[in-house]
Copies of this chain bind each other. A is one copy, B any other.
C-alpha cells in the first residue's frame, strides 16, 4: 500500500524520477543479457553486504537479466582443513592441493558455501540452482601447468555451454563453484576469477563483473584517488608489462582480458564493499569501478 505525505515534494519527485529515467533504459538494454558475477571477498564475508549483494542479483534476475554467479570459498576451506589436521599451503595465491585438500575444498565449496548462497537467493523467490563443473560435465578441468606442481589445481579446459544455456532458458540463476573433473577422473580446484572469465566467455556474456575488495585499477597503484574508470585491453596489457598494476589485481585484469578475448562485451572490476555496487555499476551512469573493454 502506498503512503501519501501531504504536499508532494517536487524536488524529491524529480530526483527519484531522474534515477528511474536513467535506470530504465539500462534495464531495456540488458533484458535477457547474461551477466556473470564473480562473487567473493568482503561482499561474501560481511553479513550485511552479503545480503545486499544477493538481493541485488535477485533483482537483476527479476527485471529480466540472466545473472550467473561464480563464487570462491576462501577462508572457510582453510579453517576446515585445519580442523581436520592439515595446514594450508599457498604458492602465488594458489592453494597447493593434494587429493585430500581438493576433497576438503570440494566439501566446503559444494557442501557449505554453495548451498548457503543458493538457499539465500532461492529464499527471495528467485530460482537459483547450485552447480559445479561435475554437473552434466559442465566444465572439464586440465591440470594447471606452471613452474611448480601444485597438485590438483586446474584450469578450465572446456565448458559445456549448452547445459548452462538450457538452465538459463528455464529461468534459473546458476550458482557455480569452481570445482571440475579433470584427467583420470580426478577432481580439480580452479581459481574462481579464471573460472568466471571462462564461463562468461563461453556464454558470450554481456558483462563479467568481478567483485573485489579494492576500488578498481588505479593509475598510480599507491593512490586510490587515481581510479581508472575505463581501461582498454591494450592499455591494460601495457600496464601489466610495465609493472603498473598491483600484484593482487593482476589475475583479475588477466581474467578480464581472457573474457574479452572470448567475446564478452565488457568487464567490470568493482569494489564489493560499496553499497549495491552491482546495481550502481549496471543501472546508473555513475562509474564506481574500472570497466575493461576491448
Contact residues of A with B, CB < 8 Å? 1-8, 10, 13-17, 19-21, 23-25, 27-28, 31, 55-56, 59, 62-64, 80, 83-85, 103, 106-112, 114-115, 118-119, 122-123, 127-132, 134-137, 163, 166-167, 170, 172, 179, 181, 185, 187, 225, 227, 229-230, 274-276, 279-280, 283-288, 291
Contact = CB atoms under 8 A, between A and B. Distances in A.
Given A8-B274, A63-B28, A136-B129, A16 B284 contact: yes
B63 A8 contact: no
A225 B132 CA distance: 45
A10 B112 contact: no
Nearest to A55: B21
A218 to B, nearest CB: 12
A181 B135 contact: no
Contact of A24 (B62, B114, B187): B62
Given A4-B287, A19-B19, A134 B112 contact: no
A181 B123 contact: yes
| Copies of this protein chain in the complex | 6
A59 B293 CA distance: 28
Contacts of A291: 2
Contact of A63 (B24, B225, B276, B286): B24
A7 B287 CA distance: 11
A14 B275 contact: yes
Given A115-B132, A229-B3, A279 B21 contact: yes
Contact of A118 (B14, B135, B227): B135
A270 to B, nearest CB: 10
A107 to B, nearest CB: 3
A14 B217 CA distance: 23
Contacts of A106: 111-112, 115
A228 to B, nearest CB: 8
Given A7-B225, A134-B119, A286-B5, A275 B17 contact: yes
A185 B123 contact: yes
19 contacts: A2-B230, A2-B291, A3-B285, A3-B286, A4-B229, A6-B225, A7-B225, A8-B286, A13-B286, A13-B288, A16-B280, A21-B59, A21-B276, A63-B63, A64-B64, A83-B84, A107-B108, A108-B111, A167-B170
